[in-house]
Structure 1
Amino acid sequence: MTFNQLNIIQPILNAIETAGYTQPSEIQERSIPTILNGNDMIGCAQTGTGKTAAFAIPIIQLMHQAPKKTKAIRTLVLTPTRELAVQINENFNLYKGNLRLSNIAIYGGVRQQGQVKALNRGVDILIATPGRLIDLIEQGYVRLNEVEILVLDEADRMLDMGFVNDIKKLLKYIPKKRQTLFFSATMPNKIKTFAKTILKQPKEVIVSPISSTTESVTQTVYMVENKKKEELLIEILRGQKLKRSLVFTQTKHGADKLMKTLNKIGVKTGAIHGNKSQNARQSALEDFKSKRITVLIATDIASRGIDIDDLSFVVNYEMPNVPETYVHRIGRTGRGGNFGEAVSFCSRDEKNELRDIQKLIGFKIPINPNTSCAFHLG
């Protein structure tokens, strides 16, 4: 199937073609007609499958085909992190092409003055993190009484980050008569239960269960003591001839410490995590995208906004506590038909995490013995 067969209007088709896309992904193929028909929807697909375009494209079309002269916000997209808000806003800019629709992203960590000015000029599509949005509503800068479409993106992550009460608070400001779209990479029972409280007769679009890892990513694991992980990472990066690599740590402190170590030996490295300012995080991400730095170290909470087209190498420096997080992490590579490689470092005290991950994905990740730092997994 092509985008031409999804009843998308020509200006958006032109923008899609300019972006270099020809065929919709499965989540896009199934979601776009559902949303264009006005249905509430639950969309579940693993990271990297094109969920953002799956809702951005039909929303742009719906907004364009039913224009209003007011400056009111007509679509609200809620997302858990600043990086995701920026990324989603970029997607709307990409797919709307020359259509006369306005969209902005608002989020914390930066001064609100510029965001308030943009809101005062009038916005059709608002992408926001819950905390900053509530703050601006309470200051009287935002009204949501004319919202027609509500999107909850990365709903599982929002609930994990404790945003459920903020979302419930925001729902009080939004008309009950609306179209609600609920997108998540995982669909545990608590997510389904919450979805049912805010959606009306939703259509379900479930693609690639989160328990699966993409076949386009080669996965290996090194059994290595914690004190030897730095040495192993340097060995591997040099073996990779220092091609761009995304490295995941569990903590902000660990990310900063590892960044300093790599920079000291001449490996150009940046880090993004929750303690970094918005400008610092965006700067590091842009440096990574433009290849000014070779290695980007990220914590999980910052990782969802990382969208690099040709990223081929991911390292789990520390094993995630939640098995599904492993799938999210390695989903940063092997995108868009490209192949990628993911390596994981597992210490003796992380063996249970490895076993839980292997149980989730349904196979044993091959152990790579080719290092002086390895030990045997008992």
Structure 2
Amino acid sequence: MRARIALAGALAAALAGTALLTAPAATAAGPGPDGHAGTKAAMEAQVAKGVPGMIGQVTEGRRVWRATAGVGNLDTGEPRGAGDAFRVGSITKTFVATVLLQLEAEGRLDLDDTVEEWLPGVVQGHGHDGSRITLRQLLNHTSGIREIFEEKEFRDKVTGPGFLKHRDDTWTPRQLVRLAMNGKPTFEPGTSWSYSNTNYLLAGMVIEKATGKPYATEVRRRVLNPLGLRHTVVPGTDHRIPGPHGIAYSKLLVEKPGTEVYDATELNPSLAGPAGEMISTAGDLNRFYAAVLRGKLFPQRQLKEMLTTVPVGAEAPGIRYGLGLMTQKLSCGVRLYGHGGGIHGSSSEAVSTRDGRHTAAFNSNADWTGDSEPVVEAEFCG
């Protein structure tokens, strides 16, 4: 994922998916007879710029369009499959927010409850105070809680050469939050906005506390199974990507010229946990975001809460963040809702119009190059 917002360094950006809706400087070629020629051309342009391969799927009502560009394997030249599974990174956050909104609708928690009420003693130290932070502030990143990627011990193990030694390590959300507490908050709760993966590690812990079951179980029971998202999984510590998939090419989230490219297809996804561990397909993501925006997963009151947004700052004018969902108006006036996500060897974006009728999801099997912005512009503005 390419960063357009000043997050906590390049690694945080790679797992955050916070700025994939910014409008590009120019729009790709307009659509041809099938309505998606411009989108296809924009995908091919990304491959020409160095992306190994890209896949995309668009749904408009009952019409579905699929396309691939480039390859899934640089050694064999095998193309990517339109139905390939891939790691979705921070798109996981929309699933987590959905479950918390469902729990609120059931009266099992309130988004204005404090973190301390649900996780006593977890958020404290170096100025952190969970009694002053609400669950809502976790979901919209206004908590001020320190980003886990600012912690050197963690960063050294999941980026650069350290990743190769520690890719099989298992991390728990509680362990990661404890590391994040080693530094000061970014700001006073509710006074600003800053993307922090730590927020969603905590959100997953709250789900477990409220239900007595792991957040992954609740995501499957409440979202994946009802929607029939058969190709979407919450992998936990499973290193593999189930089903057909290409190779995930990574420069280990180190943006330096000449950095070697590695196969990062298999890794222990607990390094991301509720902040970014999930695996899906373009088709499943389109179905999910359509269901969210049509209010099929929770009452209208909760949908309104999800769509109540805050600005993300001067670094990304026009982008606003709700509860696990971003929104931005494109150059042609179309407003999109969705999320982006990046993790080792994978950059993804899933967006939709407000009515859920026009959805699009794209993935690149690389983490150091590629830009989905022109592709999205071509699809919705071309």
Instruction: Please tell me the TM-score bracket, short chain as reference.
Output: under 0.3
Q: Which has the higher contact order (CA 8 A, sep 6+)?
A: 2
TM-score by length of 1: 0.24
Structure with bigger gyration radius: 1
